Amino acid sequence: MNFDGTDAACGFSLPRLELHSGADGWTSVCYLENGTSAQQPLRTLTTTPAKRAAAAAALITLGPRYAAELLALLHPATRRPMT
């Protein structure tokens, strides 16, 4: 996720949040505007909880400037069933 609104699949910009899977589970990587990064090993093996844990870790790392985007990841809108 690029926080400048660009498509992360098409290009890299800072700050950025990535979720990596590996043999030991998931790792959240938050790339900061100054070019440094913060990695957070996550203790979950499934994707949805890993995404939420990554957003929570990034909220602490990035602070309030990107809170709206990160809170949207933590609490996605509930979809109503179609009638």
pLDDT in tens, 30-79: 999 999 999 999 977 788 889 999 999 999 999 999 999 899 888 876 54
pLDDT in tens, 19-30: 999 888 999 999
Q: What is the pLDDT of residue 43?
A: 79
Whether 54 contacts 28, CB under 8 Å: yes
Task: Tell me the residue ranges of DSSP E strands in the chain.
Answer: 16-22, 25-31, 37-41
Confidence of residue 81 (pLDDT cuts 50, 70, 90): low
Largest CA distance in the chain: 48
End-to-end CA distance of the chain: 33
Q: Is the pTM of this model over 0.95?
A: no
